[in-house]
Structure 1
Amino acid sequence: MRQALIFDCDGVIVDVEIQRHLKAFNQVWEEAGVPWRWSDAEYERALRVSGGKERLHLLRDDPRFRAVFDVPDDPEEWRRIVAAWHRRKTQFYVASLRTGEVTARPGVRRLARDALRAGWRVAVASAGARDSVRTLVRAALGTELAAQLTLVTGESVRRKKPAPDVFDVAAASIGVVPERCVVIEDTRNGLLAATASGMTCVVTPTRLSLHDDFSEAALVISGLGDPGLPPEIVLGGPAWGCSRPCMTLDELARLSGVPGPARTGRRSLHG
């Protein structure tokens, strides 16, 4: 039966693109003459909400923002403002990806290639804007590999993570039932979305999400790893018994349907 490997984008394919995203948002307000900017800490808190538009919408109820910007009473007018800001932010962000270096996290390119060679379907399911996701995937994985991946973004769904919509659409798009899909995520919202869709989820957290609750994950691991690099660290999950210094496609296949509660603690993949 056909299987699938589905990656989240920011935080999974690359480490968290905080500075690029944050700079793009702040460029929008600077260009528009709005005396507002997110600090690093403020944007990190905003990242708890999936989707750039959704983060912008939160400003409507922020008294500090309302003190510097005349938020319209008409919800439709506010939606138009948010949509225009988000479009411009995407343009700034995409431009930064095209002019700067983008490095994939270890194991992502290797596993995507191995999955394709084995006949798996491979997709990216992200809450981000399509132009941003497509440009990042191409920059991190190369145009040849990126062209073989199915992209499903926040523009394809009504509800963002932790709702399962983006993974439901991904499964339908690649023709693989959710029970045969393995998802790589880095946040609790992504984990909840994947498991709500009926998929097995492996979490590779970043420094922003390291201390989140990932008890629903089949495996929580510091990264996917690559041969020749230091072994990754298993952080938890019922799929505890691993025997290699990096994640392999065979191990991902075996993770589907792993029962039982999550364990806690740390050990290397080859421990």
Structure 2
Amino acid sequence: MPALIFDCDGVLADTERDGHLPAFNETFEEFGLPVRWSDEEYAEKVKVGGGKERMRTLLTPDFVAAAGLPADPAALAEQVAGWHRRKTEIYTGIIRSGGIPPRPGVWRVAMEAYEAGWTLAVASTSAEASVRSVLELAMGPELAAHFSVFAGDVVPRKKPAPDIYAFAVHRLGLDPAHAVAIEDSRNGMLSALGAGLACAVTTSAYTQEEDFTEASLVVTSLGDPPPEETVTRVLSDPLGAHPGPWVVLADLAALLPDGGGAGSTASGPSAAGAPGSAPPGPDPRSH
């Protein structure tokens, strides 16, 4: 059966501006660090894969001296790890508060894939605790339980390196040619393509102007039918998937060399409400 592998931040929920950025800045304040990232500065930081890696961009000699940080590399690395642990705690608290909604269509498409027998996974270079909190927000705990999660430091190189997707397909025993990744950034797209996966892109707050020339499908979101009524806009469709007002599983299956095989037969706005189906749980947005 095919697989559907979601990125987390910017794909399951648009978490960067209202989740990660305030969590970084609150962490900097708690540790007395002489920095607060503006929205414009953070728009550049998101191009660096991984939270600890973004924090390490601060560590110029002048910053280390101004902040009174240790010069010893091992001690400095432990300091950054401590900042990142606290940042993850703050971020997961923001997510669990419910202030950041899931992105349109992610639950609907994941449910359709689950019912069609597809493998479901998340591949992200964010901390695993952060990823799991967003996954449960977007999918609800029952559907989230059917996802494999590959996150954090399980691979040595972060996106755009292909490591996280290569690791995911290896652990799941998949042929990468039978997997579709959903990403929101150029770095994520390059990671998925480098591991041999097809890649659909749903642009997010910080990535709308990035170059997605190599993607198999680029849309503004997966979209949702009424009552949510979020209509997707197709930005690039080189393979001729021709999604309607919202993306369905068959549109993503069309990105695979064999059209997704037996798992690609679902069609229409959603298969989640099909007679006789036994979905793991309701759309979390109804809670």
1:244 deviation in Å? 1.9
* Equivalent of residue 130 in structure 1, options 113, 128, 131: 128
> Quick check: 34-43 or 85-94, which moved more?
34-43
1:97 aligned to 2:95?
yes
Contact 2:241 2:251 in 1 (8 A): no
Partner of 2:245: 245
1:167 deviation in Å? 0.5
Q: Any idea what the Cα deviations from partners look like across 1:34-88, whole Å, max 9, x if unmatched? A: 232222222221111010000011111274x346313433221111111010001
State how far apart, in whole Å, the 2-side matches of 1:39 and 1:211 are: 19
Partner of 2:235: 235
Partner of 2:159: 161
State how far apart, in whole Å, the 2-side matches of 1:162 and 1:80 are: 25
State how far apart, in whole Å, the 2-side matches of 1:140 and 1:253 are: 22
1:13 deviation in Å? 0.5
State how far apart, in whole Å, the 2-side matches of 1:98 and 1:231 are: 27
Partner of 1:83: 81
Equivalent positions of 1:6-45 (< 5 A) are 6-45=5-44
State how far apart, in whole Å, the 2-side matches of 1:241 and 1:252 are: 8
Q: Which letter maps to 1:103?
A: P
Partner of 2:110: 112
Partner of 2:71: 73
Partner of 1:208: 206
Contact 1:200 1:257 in 2 (8 A): no
State how far apart, in whole Å, the 2-side matches of 1:17 and 1:155 are: 19
Q: Which letter maps to 2:76?
A: W
Contact 2:14 2:100 in 1 (8 A): no
Question: What number of residue pairs does the alignment pair up?
Answer: 256
Q: Any idea what the Cα deviations from partners look like across 1:217-259, whole Å, max 9, x if unmatched? A: 001111111223253111114124515221111121111249x
State how far apart, in whole Å, the 2-side matches of 1:22 and 1:234 are: 28
State how far apart, in whole Å, the 1-side matches of 2:51 and 2:180 are: 25
State how far apart, in whole Å, the 2-side matches of 1:159 and 1:49 are: 11
1:139 deviation in Å? 1.8
> Quick check: 208-217 or 91-100, which moved more?
91-100
Q: 1:200 to 1:243 in 2, by over 3 A?
A: closer
Q: Which letter maps to 2:81?
A: A
Contact 1:7 1:123 in 2 (8 A): yes
Q: Which letter maps to 1:73?
A: A
Contact 1:202 1:219 in 2 (8 A): yes
Aligned to 2:199, the other structure's residue is in SS state: strand
Contact 2:10 2:205 in 1 (8 A): no
Aligned to 2:56, the other structure's residue is in SS state: helix
* TM-score, with length taken from structure 1: 0.89
* TM-score, with length taken from structure 2: 0.84
1:177 deviation in Å? 1.1
Q: 1:243 to 1:125 in 2, by over 3 A?
A: closer
Which has the bigger relative contact order, CA under 8 A and spacing at least 6? 2
State how far apart, in whole Å, the 2-side matches of 1:13 and 1:95 are: 17
State how far apart, in whole Å, the 2-side matches of 1:195 and 1:115 are: 21
Partner of 2:276: none
State how far apart, in whole Å, the 2-side matches of 1:3 and 1:172 are: 14
Gaps of 5+ in 2: 259-287
Q: Which letter maps to 1:193?
A: S
State how far apart, in whole Å, the 1-side matches of 2:78 and 2:205 are: 34
Gaps of 5+ in 1: 259-271
Contact 1:124 1:150 in 2 (8 A): yes
> Quick check: 34-43 or 190-199, which moved more?
34-43
Q: Which letter maps to 1:11?
A: G
Contact 1:111 1:249 in 2 (8 A): yes
CA RMSD in angstroms comes to 1.7
Q: Which letter maps to 1:239?
A: L
Identity %: 45
- The runs of at least 4 aligned residues of structure 1 exceeding 3 Å deviation read none
Partner of 1:47: 46
Q: 1:178 to 1:96 in 2, by over 3 A?
A: same
State how far apart, in whole Å, the 1-side matches of 2:206 and 2:96 are: 25
